[in-house]
């Protein structure tokens, strides 16, 4: 273990637990992937859409978009009032799709990479890593989902999701 690792883990934990918006969770996603994988990509955009409950998020190949399941996040928010857990869920969904956006197509490889990134940046005992190991749907245990069929709303873009340091054409 490197000398700065405990400090790094604490920094990532504080960053995620204190996040008050999708953009702040995203900053933690980008920072942790950069730290763990030495890779990054700018110009990403986040859209919220009402997707089937089995789909947490997706990255359309060839785009800079991530589409997050607004309904899934709202269901977990309604059942779990702990903001740190909600942020951990959103982190897991976003980091998974960000790794796809970095060029990894294989689901199995992405799942393993998410586990590797979370262990390195948050430690094995943190909720982010536990969700990565078990899956985001582990948070839905005990929540009655039979008949959940939300009304489809218009997809929305999250403004100021990624604050690039410069204008991107």
Query: Is 60 exceeded by the pLDDT of residue 167?
Result: no
Please state whether beta strands 57-58 and 156-157 pair in parallel, antiparallel, or not at all (unpaired). Answer: unpaired
Contact 131, 90 (CB under 8 A): no
Domain boundaries, the chain: 5-157
Q: How far is residue 88's CA from residue 53's CA, in Å, rounded to a whole number?
A: 18
Please tell me the predicted confidence (pLDDT) of residue 142.
Answer: 77
Confidence of residue 148 (pLDDT cuts 50, 70, 90): low
For residue range 21-76, what is the model confidence (pLDDT) as tens digits? 999 999 999 999 999 999 999 999 999 999 988 899 999 999 999 999 999 999 88
Six token digits for residue 80: 């779990």
Using only C-alpha atoms, what is the Rg of the chain? 16
For residue range 117-146, what is the model confidence (pLDDT) as tens digits? 999 999 999 999 999 999 998 888 877 766
pTM, 2 dp: 0.90
């Amino acid at each position: 273990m490197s000398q700065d690792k405990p400090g790094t883990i604490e920094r990532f934990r504080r960053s995620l637990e204190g996040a008050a918006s999708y953009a702040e969770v995203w900053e933690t996603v980008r920072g942790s992937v950069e730290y763990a994988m030495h890779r990054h990509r700018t110009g990403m955009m986040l859209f919220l859409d009402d997707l089937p409950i089995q789909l947490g998020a997706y990255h359309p190949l060839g785009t800079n978009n991530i589409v997050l399941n607004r309904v899934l996040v709202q269901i977990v928010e309604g059942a779990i009032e702990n903001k740190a857990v909600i942020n951990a869920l959103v982190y897991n969904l976003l980091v998974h799709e960000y790794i796809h956006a970095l060029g990894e197509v294989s689901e199995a490889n992405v799942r393993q990479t998410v586990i590797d990134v979370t262990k390195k940046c948050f430690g094995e005992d943190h909720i982010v890593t536990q969700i990565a190991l078990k899956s985001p749907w582990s948070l839905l245990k005990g929540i009655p989902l039979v008949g959940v069929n939300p009304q489809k709303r218009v997809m929305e873009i999250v403004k100021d999701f990624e604050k690039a340091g410069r204008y991107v054409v």
